[in-house]
Amino acid sequence: MMMVGCVNAFFVLVALLLAYVVHNHPSVREYWQLDNRPPVAVNCSFMQLHRNVTLPTLPDDLEALPWRCGLQEVTTTTTTTTTTTESSPNRLRVFVFTQPDGTWCWSNAGVIVYDDEILHIVDTLTDEHLTNHFIEAIQKQIVVVSTKKKRRMTPQWIFLTHGDIDHVYGLAAMRRSFVGFRGILAHQSTLDTMAKNPPPKKLAQSVMRARLVWSFFSDKNDSMSLHPWIKRLLSYGTPHVLQGYAVRFLGNLRAMQFFSPFDFDNTADVPTKDVIAFDERERHVSLSGGGGGGGNDAIMKIVHVSGTHSYGDVFLHLPSANLVFAGDLLFIGVSPIMWTGPARKFKAALHMLLATNATTFVPGHGPVCGRRGVELSLAYWDFVEAGVRQCVADGVSESRACASRLFDRLPSPWNAWLGAERVFINVDVEMNGPVVDVARKFALIGAQGEHGLLDT
């Protein structure tokens, strides 16, 4: 008997020791997300070639959730912006799948869970490899939790914030995994954009060809930089016109490297025939699965804003959660980008985000933020709009010259954010109008890749 008592006491002591370690060891604290400080470097194991990334330091008052790889619950980690109401605890839960560092195609997606039973998806990521990890995370972290009610979780809607490839290429994988979906809901302009997107396998071939050619010119120690002899060749003695063509050609090749970490080859065509398109400016959707019932806590407002990042942009407002899925109206930690514009309309859309009185915003790229994140974005577009106006007043009418001027004067925090050179695209759209075809889009991505080609 005495022996049994000693063994029990031993196990109690071991358990107490383990509990102490779990609550106090720094690495364990971070693993269990007890420490909310934004990390400076992350290792995203599911992101293949993009595993180790270094993140920019974000302003202290950004109220961002930790910028981690994978699925996090927004509603329990931000206690000041909890979605629950006293009368209906836990009816609405929101999860966000984030992919640092948020640069080209490293986009966010989301999950809305109503009453632990009904599930909705917001956006579908860039390739099926990533989407499958998103689906796996949903099944591990959400579906398991929901079984406490012993009811089957019913998938309902896939909502699309806009039609760019990094938000829609995962649709076929979603469709396959969640059989019985009610539908894919998107604005008509999003559907139009999706129809113009290249099929994933065609994009895979272009990226492969560009990688092959680029490998002849790139520095082996830094795959995004040119060999020193190419730089010298282009910098000295080369006729200006020839230099321009060469830099543009190399810039396009370099830009295609941004897409090389993705598995477009194993990504199926997007099922556009399944998309239910709407044309009105604002649509309300019942999250409870019924025909509009479930009270205010089950309503989502989808608001279309044109003339911004793209023609199809909508934001998804969950009033009872004080939360907005902003899509690519918001980039945090990485430079915003405008394909449609102008900045005046972009700013009007951001004012609409603030007018919702929401306190939590999920950007299309970057960490979840508070209202400060939207205000910062407004200030960025103020800078672009005023800068272009000044260029015109000073007779600087060529967009590259104007963008170069703005790039050199880019203030904090955007000068430290990733992809700061996107100001070349933003200025071009502000001066020359919207990008309406894919060819110009890739040319502009190439042009911004071209900046600094000779001095990297």
Residues 321-350 that bind Zn ion (CB under 5 A): 328
H or E stretch at 72: strand 70-73
Stretch binding Zn ion (CB under 5 A), from 102-110, 124-132, 391-399, 429-437: 102-110
In whole angstroms, what is the distance from residue 39 CA to residue 82 CA? 23
Measured from the CB atom, the residue of 103 and 107 that comes closer to Zn ion is 107
Alpha helices (H) in 51-199, listed in sequence order: 74-77, 128-138, 144-146, 165-168, 171-177, 188-196
Q: Shortest Cβ distance from residue 125 to Zn ion (Å)? A: 10
Q: Shortest Cβ distance from residue 105 to Zn ion (Å)? A: 7
Q: Is the peptide bond before 101 cis (omega within 30 degrees of 0)?
A: yes
Measured from the CB atom, the residue of 312 and 364 that comes closer to Zn ion is 364
Stretch binding Zn ion (CB under 5 A), from 30-38, 207-215, 358-366, 437-445: 358-366
Measured from the CB atom, the residue of 218 and 448 that comes closer to Zn ion is 448
At position 85, the amino acid (one-letter code) is: T
Q: Shortest Cβ distance from residue 448 to Zn ion (Å)? A: 15
Stretch binding Zn ion (CB under 5 A), from 17-25, 159-167, 245-253, 333-341: 159-167
**Residue 214, Ramachandran bin (φ over 0: left; ψ between -120 and 50: alpha; else beta):** alpha
Q: Shortest Cβ distance from residue 364 to Zn ion (Å)? A: 4
Measured from the CB atom, the residue of 107 and 360 that comes closer to Zn ion is 107
x-marked contacts with Zn ion along 259-298 as a string, rule CB under 5 A: ----------------------------------------
Exactly one of 75, 78, 99, 107 binds Zn ion (CB under 5 A); that residue is 107
In whole angstroms, what is the distance from residue 161 CA to residue 310 CA? 10
Bridge partners, 334 (sequence order): 418
At position 398, the amino acid (one-letter code) is: E
Q: Does 166 bind Zn ion (CB under 5 A)?
A: yes
Closest CA to 403 of 422, 417, 380, 379: 422
In whole angstroms, what is the distance from residue 259 CA to residue 242 CA? 27
Measured from the CB atom, the residue of 93 and 162 that comes closer to Zn ion is 162
Q: Does 127 bind Zn ion (CB under 5 A)?
A: no
* Count of CA atoms in the C-beta half-sphere (13 A) of 81: 25
- Residues binding Zn ion (CB under 5 A): 107, 166, 328, 364
